[in-house]
Structure 1
Amino acid sequence: MPWNEIVFLALALLAGGVVTGVLAGMFGVGGGGVMVPVLYEVFRAVGVDESLRMQLCIGTSLAVIIPTSYMSYRAHAARGAVLPGVLASWRLPAIGGMLTGTAIAAVVDGWVLQAIFVGIIGVLGVKSVVGRNDIRIAGQLPGKMGLGVIGYFLGLAASLVGISGGGVATNILLLYGVPIHAAVATSAGIGMIIPIPGVIGYAVAGWPHMSELPPLSLGYVSVIGFLCMAPLSMVFAPYGARLAHRLPHRALEVGIGLFFLLIAARFFLALVWA
């Protein structure tokens, strides 16, 4: 690649790392909604085959999410906003869901993962823009078994679209009447757990395609992508958490919702025109 293109791609990855960190801190998400489209364009530019591109985006996104969510979680936990009992009930089922989703991703075409990404990110975007946080499933969280089912779903969804599950978890907790800051903080906690088995699974699943992947790839995990995005996302996640406690939540909610809808529209058009 020409040097000017390499510089441009590196700057795109670095900028994606900054935005990822801020959004992770603000909303308790790992930033996969930001990273996946950035990585998709980067890997398209370097010539990664379309049948493997989405898998590489998701695996790399999950790797970056781990340290980013950890920094976000620490910032929120320092304010005492995390619900530790919920995290304990989610942990193992979420890992099981992640392993299931990783196995599915290893055998399906890339366009299937794109379609799932569009659906989940689109729903989250509409939910954020509409802002109907007064809608309730129940006045309190379900028991341990019910929380386990939710945890499995979070892991499954996260593994299929390269997100930490934080955005989904936040919206689910709000449906049970959990205060917004506690929902965001707890979602950040699950976001640092879910991606770990996913990264391992995507790395293993990509080994048969190593000759078709960019240099310095561990299966479907790009080391270059990780090194460019992870440090900045970790640095900026605590700043995002501080902003979440200072700025009007509704304005932030609408902003992230519109951003998610824009991302969903971009991938939807790619699917239609493929």
Structure 2
Amino acid sequence: MNELLLLALAMLATGAVGGVLAGLFGIGGGIVIVPALDAALSAVGTDPAIRMHVAVATSLATIIPTSIASSRAHHRRQSVDHALVRRWAVFVLLGAIAGAWLASRLHSNVLAAVFAVFALLIAIKLLLPLDGRTLANDVPRNVFITAVPFSIGGISSMMGIGGGTLSVAALTLLNQPIHRAVGTAALFGLVISLPGTLGFVATGIGDPRLPVGSLGYVNLIGFALIAPTTVLLAPAGAALAHRLSQRQLSLMFGGFLLLVSIRMLSRAF
């Protein structure tokens, strides 16, 4: 009973931190939730071969309501680029479906390594003094740019994140102000998390190694405890984001991702 209580408290704390970060950085909170769930599932003896699958899938499920709350908060501050969302949404969606399918066929340690490597690359980009250095003056409209939203959807789905981690980095490189990039990334989170969650439910059905209370790879206990907390606290993070300068926001996000990357690399190897 004590172990279950501690697990429940850990889930609630994870949801609280994830919610604040969702609003602060435009992420779905998955960058926090995935490693926390991985540790919690390890403590209750979940098979290591599917532990990251359950963590990633459950994280994506919690991002559905969180991304709605976060994007609404940013919309009220007029920091969501709805025109860009309309142009990129279908490619993000297709990438998310492909990513969930591929992730279901990989070992847990491979997923942890993917998570760590991309988190590290993004952390380096954000921590370096690259303010004002961009790849373009604005978001291009040519056919080749569709590879960017497709990759964002695919990699984010594999990592169990809402896409903010990659979207913010990509959009700032395309000369978008970070506050607008954060707000737009929050809405992309819904486009990624919904199909990604359904994909993990479908591919995990019937696996005998699943922990109790799971629907496919999505653990409903974790979802029930984390999701409401993230929704409640996402607006607080959004309000905080608009009190920080562009450089302060970049440094905070980059430092956080660096710590997460180190943790997941140790998990993978």
TM-score normalised by the chain length of structure 1: 0.94
Q: CA deviation at 1:133?
A: 2.9
Name 1:254's counterpart in structure 2: 251
Cα gap change, 1:140/1:249 in structure 2, threshold over 3 Å: closer, same or farther?
Answer: closer
- Identical positions, percent: 39
Q: Is the 8 A contact 2:179 2:246 kept in 1?
A: no
Matched, 1:36 2:17: no
2: CA distance, partners of 1:89 / 1:109: 34
2: CA distance, partners of 1:208 / 1:101: 20
Partner AA of 1:157 in structure 2: I
Note the 1:121-132 alignment, pairs <5 A.
Answer: 121-132=119-130
Name 2:48's counterpart in structure 1: 50
2: CA distance, partners of 1:206 / 1:154: 23
2: CA distance, partners of 1:156 / 1:47: 29
1: CA distance, partners of 2:142 / 2:92: 13
TM-score normalised by the chain length of structure 2: 0.96
Matched, 1:242 2:244: no
Q: CA deviation at 1:193?
A: 1.4
1: CA distance, partners of 2:163 / 2:58: 15
2: CA distance, partners of 1:128 / 1:177: 14
Name 2:225's counterpart in structure 1: 228
Name 1:66's counterpart in structure 2: 64
1:117 to 104, 107, 115: 115
1:142 to 140, 143, 151: 140
The number of aligned residues is 269
Once structures 1 and 2 are overlaid, which stretch shifts more, 253-262 or 228-237? 253-262
Runs of 4 or more consecutive aligned structure 1 residues displaced over 4 Å after TM superposition: none
Q: Is the 8 A contact 1:140 1:177 kept in 2?
A: yes
2: CA distance, partners of 1:15 / 1:133: 33
Q: CA deviation at 1:107?
A: 1.4
1:19 to 14, 17, 20: 17
Matched, 1:101 2:99: yes
Root-mean-square deviation (Å): 1.3
Name 2:213's counterpart in structure 1: 216
Name 2:86's counterpart in structure 1: 88
Q: Is the 8 A contact 2:48 2:108 kept in 1?
A: yes
2:156 to 150, 155, 158: 158
Structure 1's unaligned 5+ residue stretches are none
